[in-house]
Amino acid sequence: MLRKNGAIIERWRYPVKFLLSPLFAAAGLLLLLCSTSIAADETIDVLTIADPTGDWGFPSPYGHYSRGPGYVRMSMIFDTLVWKDQNGYVPALAESWQLEDDAYVFNLRKNVSWHDGDPFTAKDVVFTINYIKEHPYQWVNSEPVKGAEVLDDYTVKLYLNKSYAPFIDMVAGTLPILPEHIYKDVSNPEEFQDDIAITGTGPYKLLDYDKAQGTYLYEAFDDYYLGAPKVKQLKFVKVSSEMSASALENGDVDAANVPPEMADSLKHKGFTVLKGSHDGITKIMVNHKNEPFSDARLRQALYYAIDRQALVDTALRGYGIIASSGLFALDSEWYNPDVEEYKYDPTKTEELMLALGYSKDGQYFSKDEEALEMEMLVTATNERAGEMIKQQLEQAGFKVTLRSVDSKTLDSLVGEWNFDLALNSHGGMGGDPEILNRIIGEGYTFNSARYIENRKLNDLLDQEVSEMDPVKRKELVNEVQKVYAQDLPALPLYYSDSYWVHDGKADMYYTKQGVANGIPIAQNKLSFVK
């Protein structure tokens, strides 16, 4: 690979079909494709996946962008101790594991090699655990892990500081294992983007990454411990959501996330259509660090002013469901039906605002003859919903301006607390309920409320991740949702319907409880291996 200032600049080394200019030609024969998957012993020369964003960062553990697609790009190269498929947990680098008091013993595979031919051993696992304590990895909370010990070349013991219910999901199933012989001398892993930085044990090796075009090209690692992958080359290409259906029909891509209204048409044309569970939530982030948003009553007033069902019916064209004020959707096993519902009620909005000392002599709420004004950040993908929310809030008496920015800028502004309101979305709600700790507490920067003001709420969050009894843990998760719904540090709006469409070459599926720690993306690497 050629580099300039640390960036890969080389174009594809192989002839590629996905140069997309012909894709959008007015004419073209629509291909009706059979949705039947190929036989297990057959191979696929090339499989091309569409993505509307394109660039998700350099696909090393410390180089990828901290959203689900970035993790998925990296996961093709790096393996974890445990993985998941459509049915739940499956062995990965560990053949088996068992809990011994507050420690997990992992029995490792003996036939694993790194992409450069060096053998994988227990030393790599211990090194990785120690490394993330010094260099925190964005997807894993290392605090519950006390340390790691090599018992022999293929047995490792991970000690916990205390009971940690989501350990298998959040650590063993999410943390990419690093090669000690490469990373031991790397002091700044975020800037380590040389070719050897992407030496993993996973089913694929990276051939090319074009940051400007948002494209990735992988080749199969034929010495993979589960056998040579059936997909020999895997491509990710940038295609807008609006053009994803055309790209599928023209045969330019094999799989894509498509707008819901296009799903039925594609199904009738022979494509396989997968509908995801409601794991992706859209909410209004609120800068509760600043007045007047620091008062829960004002956040409640905003919430009563928003007609969430109208948002689903109009902005989503009916493809979605309204969100619970407790965050989990009603089709989640963790859903609590007893939280405050906050049905659309502008009258309650006005009552709360008057109690806060605001008056409404004209169109807007004001205090000391100054109108209450607020800015809401939106992106191109949610601008339609943002316009509706602005109208609803203004009808209720709030003066709102919209500011459209790209998603990375929005994330940055939210992370810096440089905003009033921000319309944001994320997945993970179908995974372990530890997601509550990350989106309420300080687990993330851009989609976490980072709400430490309510001590009871944060104590409950600590308790639920430590509770190993499933029944008691469900009770604690229910209580978390109740307290959250009272304080509303962020305002849950709706869960969008999600449709993944593919041509049947590979047996693609939504992972049970999401990829890694709950990523709701139908791109499990095992789909391309077996």
Q: Domain spans of the chain?
A: 3-62+202-276+498-528, 82-183, 281-496
Q: Which residue has the tokens 């494709």?
A: 33
DSSP character string of 460-483: HHHHHHH---HHHHHHHHHHHHHH
Residues 212, 237: Cα–Cα separation, whole Å: 11
Q: Could you tell me whether strands 281-286 and 421-426 are parallel, antiparallel, or unpaired per DSSP bridges?
A: antiparallel
Question: Other CB atoms closer than 10 Å to residue 41's CB: what's the count?
Answer: 6
pLDDT at 42: 86
- Using the structure block, give the residue that is written with the tokens 């319309």: 423
Question: Which among 342, 277, 278 has a CA at the least distance from the CA of 309?
Answer: 342
Q: What pLDDT was estimated at residue 33? A: 36
- The whole-number pLDDT of residue 347 equals 97
Domain 3-62+202-276+498-528 has CATH 3.40.190.10: yes
Same fold, 3-62+202-276+498-528 and 82-183: no
Tens-digit pLDDT string for the chain (530 aa): 433 333 433 333 333 333 333 333 333 333 333 334 445 568 999 999 999 999 999 999 999 998 899 999 999 999 999 999 999 999 999 999 999 988 999 999 999 999 999 999 999 999 999 999 999 998 998 999 999 999 999 999 999 999 999 999 999 999 999 999 999 999 999 999 999 999 999 999 999 999 999 999 999 999 999 999 999 999 999 999 999 999 999 999 999 999 999 999 999 999 999 999 898 899 999 999 999 999 999 999 999 999 999 999 999 999 999 999 999 999 899 999 999 999 999 999 999 999 999 998 789 999 988 999 999 999 998 999 999 999 999 999 999 999 999 988 999 999 999 999 999 998 889 889 999 998 998 777 777 899 999 999 999 999 999 999 999 999 999 999 999 999 999 999 999 999 999 999 999 999 999 999 889 999 999 999 98
Strands ordered across the beta sheet of 399-404: 320-322, 490-496, 281-286, 421-426, 373-378, 399-404
Q: How far is CA 143 from the centre of its chain?
A: 21
What pLDDT score was predicted for residue 302?
A: 98
Distance CA 42, CA 30 (A): 26
H/E run at residue 88: strand 88-91
The alpha carbon of residue 88 and the mean position of all alpha carbons in its chain are separated, in whole angstroms, by 18
DSSP strand pairing (272-275 vs 255-258): unpaired
The pair of three-digit structure tokens given for residue 67, joined into one six-digit string? 């959203």
C-alpha dihedral, 109 to 111 to 117 to 119, nearest 10°: 50
**pLDDT of the residue at 41:** 65
- Distance from C-alpha of 381 to C-alpha of 383, rounded to nearest angstrom: 6
Inter-helix orientation angle 470-487/455-466, to 10° = 160
How far apart are alpha carbons 40 and 138 in whole angstroms?
A: 35
Under 8 Å CB-to-CB from 195, ≥6 apart: which residues? 1
82-183 belongs to which homologous superfamily?
Answer: Dipeptide-binding Protein; Domain 1 (3.90.76.10)
Alpha carbon distance 189, 175 (integer Å): 15
Cα 438 from Cα 454, distance rounded (Å): 15
Which superfamily does CATH assign the domain made up of 281-496 to?
A: Dipeptide-binding Protein; Domain 3 (3.10.105.10)
Closest CA relative to residue 513, chosen from 336, 334, 326, 322:
334
* Coil, helix or strand at residue 150: strand
> Helical H runs in 199-313?
244-249, 263-268, 296-304, 308-310
The torsion region of residue 397 among left (phi > 0), alpha (psi -120 to 50) and beta comes to: left
pLDDT attached to residue 37: 45
**What pLDDT is recorded for position 19?**
33
Do residues 500 and 516 touch, judged by C-beta distance below 8 A?
Answer: no
| Nearest-10 crossing angle of helices 383-396, 346-355 | 60
- Number of C-beta neighbours around residue 428 at 10 A: 24
With beta carbons less than 8 A apart as the criterion, state whether 138 and 65 touch. Answer: no
- DSSP H helices, 356-506, are 383-396, 407-415, 435-440, 455-466, 470-487
| Closest-CA residue to 168 (of 70, 110, 98) | 98
Extended beta strands in 255-398, E state: 255-258, 272-275, 281-286, 320-322, 366-367, 370-371, 373-378
3-state secondary structure of 144: coil
Selection from 11, 158, 26 nearest residue 82 by Cα? 158
Identify the pLDDT of residue 446.
Answer: 73
